[in-house]
Amino acid sequence: MRVTAKAVSAVIVLIAAAAMCSCGGADNRTLTPVVDLLDTLDQAERRPFGAPFDVAPVTLRGETHRALATPGASRVTWDLHLPDRAVFQVLVALKEDAWTTEGDGVYFRISIAEGRTQEDLLARVVNPYGQSDDRRWIPLTVDLGAHSGFKWSLFYHPRRLLWRIGLHTNAGVPGSVDTRGDMPLWAEPRILR
């Protein structure tokens, strides 16, 4: 049997298309909410222990969202199974009182962990005092496709795994100890598919 370059190219295209379908690749379909993490806050681990983690509607520049207010240095984690082609969406901001308070902002970080491995998915400093463009809700979206759904593998089955999604905040840029104006907000953190 003779294999042509054209046949090899066609097979490569089919494999790539299958990988996009099974790995949560980009497409034009509408995302559907699966888990609203604020609805399950009582099941989440919150640190520091005993600190206030308040959920309430918050309005910034006329835009209102249900938000979680956390301490400046905090971590909230949820253990959950991810749906196929999962996507994580959240809006981040600092309370309006922080907009005119000197400081270097807050470092927002989204992570995912399974067992002993943790991966930072996205990180962003929000500094409304120093950056006027940060005086708003800032949307963040992370594709979790590599951590969800079916994979052609003998050993890796993300659909069966319990994943730990983490929302972390720290003072300003990494290494900073300036906590002035650290009033972080996480609005509508959701898992979609």
Phi, psi of 43 (to 5 degrees): -95, -5
pTM (two decimals): 0.80
Residue 48 CA, chain-centre distance (Å), reads 20
Locus of tokens 């979206």: 141
Distance of alpha carbon 135 from alpha carbon 137, whole angstroms:
7
Whether residue 182 is contained in a domain is answered as: yes
Identify the band that residue 93 occupies on the pLDDT scale cut at 50, 70 and 90.
Answer: very high
Identify the band that residue 63 occupies on the pLDDT scale cut at 50, 70 and 90.
Answer: very high
Whether residue 104 is contained in a domain is answered as: yes
Identify the band that residue 111 occupies on the pLDDT scale cut at 50, 70 and 90.
Answer: very high
24 DSSP 8-state letter: T
Whether residue 14 is contained in a domain is answered as: no
Structural domain span for residue 104: 28-192
Q: What is the pLDDT of residue 174?
A: 78
Q: What is the pLDDT of residue 127?
A: 96
- For position 155, which CATH number holds? 2.60.120.260
Cα-atom radius of gyration of the chain, to the nearest Å?
Answer: 20
Whether residue 5 is contained in a domain is answered as: no
- Tokens standing for residue 24: 């949560």
Direct distance between the N- and C-terminal alpha carbons of the chain, in angstroms, rounded to an integer: 43
- Tokens standing for residue 64: 């209102």
